Structure 1
Amino acid sequence: MAAKLIIHSPDQQGRRRVRYDGVAIGVAHRPADVRAFLAAAGMENAEDVDLTDPDFAEWGRPRGVGTASLACLPVQVETSRGPPHPAGAERVIPR
Structure 2
Amino acid sequence: MAARVVVYPPDEDGGRRVRVGGEILGRAYGVRDVARFLQEATLQDWDETDVVRSRLIEWRGGGPDKWGG
- Equivalent pairs, count: 66
Identity of aligned residues (%): 29
Larger strand fraction of residues = 2
Distance 1:43 1:66, change over 3 A: closer
Residue 55 of structure 2 is aligned to residue 69 of structure 1: no
Q: Which residue of 1 aligns with 2:59?
A: 59
Q: Which residue of 1 aligns with 2:5?
A: 5
Larger helix fraction of residues = 2
**Structure 1: 5+ residue stretches without partners:** 75-95
> In structure 2, what is the Cα distance between the partners aligned to 1:26 and 1:56?
18
**Structure 2: 5+ residue stretches without partners:** none
Larger radius of gyration: 1
Calculate the TM-score normalised by the size of structure 2: 0.76
Calculate the TM-score normalised by the size of structure 1: 0.58
> In structure 1, what is the Cα distance between the partners aligned to 2:38 and 2:21?
10
- Secondary structure of the structure 2 residue equivalent to 1:39: helix
Higher relative contact order (CA 8 A, sep 6+): 2
Q: Which residue of 2 aligns with 1:31?
A: 31
- Write out the 4+ residue segments of structure 1 that deviate beyond 4 Å after TM superposition: none
Q: Which residue of 2 aligns with 1:49?
A: 50
What is the RMSD of the two structures over their aligned residues, measured on CA atoms?
2.2
